[in-house]
Structure 1
Amino acid sequence: MARVGFWTDDEYCLYVNAVEGSTLWMILADRSDSEDEDEWVEYAAIFSPLTAKWARLGYVKLMRGVDWPIDLRGEVVPDEEIESVLADPLTWKYSEDGQEQVCIILGDVNIVDSL
């Protein structure tokens, strides 16, 4: 993934996945360009603090739920739970339909206007 403008590759990947309402494991698959979960581990350590930072700034929100699409049918992860949700390794693992998943969506603060 090539760097776009003023964003790092990781920031751009996170932004694109938020626009798409992707599950967290999809971010790792996109960034690693791999379906191998073993390759995702290093990226979870990068995206967890970045996602938490962007959530605090209002750029993104986390949603969780079982019914797809989660970004429309799930519930917002409360601010006080974001750190613990992102710290849980299971949050970043591939999940089958019917299991709780966490996805990322754009927040209330427009990141482009803020930069």
Structure 2
Amino acid sequence: MDWLSEEDEWLRVAPRLAEIISSWDDIGYIEVYRANEWPAHQTGRRIKGAELQALLREDFTWKYEEIPREAISLLATKLSRELSVPPDQRN
């Protein structure tokens, strides 16, 4: 996939992806980290709440940059395993 040519598509779906990321963070399926370099979950700090909401609203969060201004990582948690189980079979 050519990510550069698909950038408009990313921006179009960004609001929905932001909702999912925010919801999954609230539930505990993922953790979001921000850093100056990769891997953000090792070199940076966890963000949540108002700071996460602000990050998800920023266009640069969704745009490809050859040299990114910062690293953002989504880290799956053990709780995310629930997502592989059909909803009617979850506890």
The answer, yes or no, to whether TM exceeds 0.5 is yes
For the residue of structure 2 that corresponds to 1:64, the secondary structure is strand
Aligned residue pairs, count: 82
Where does residue 79 of structure 1 map in the other structure?
A: 49
Cα RMSD, aligned residues only:
2.1
What TM-score do you get using the length of structure 1 for normalisation? 0.59
Letter of the 1:62 counterpart: V
Q: Aligned partners of 1:98, 1:86: CA distance in 2, in Å?
A: 16
1:94 aligns with 2:67: no
Once the two structures are TM-superposed, the CA of residue 96 in structure 1 deviates from its matched residue by 3.6
1:96 and 1:73, CA in 2 relative to 1: closer, same or farther beyond 3 A? farther
Q: Aligned partners of 2:11, 2:82: CA distance in 1, in Å?
A: 32
Gaps of 5+ in 1: 1-32
Match of 1:67 among 37, 40, 54: 37
Once the two structures are TM-superposed, the CA of residue 34 in structure 1 deviates from its matched residue by 4.1
Identity across the alignment (%): 24
Gaps of 5+ in 2: 84-89
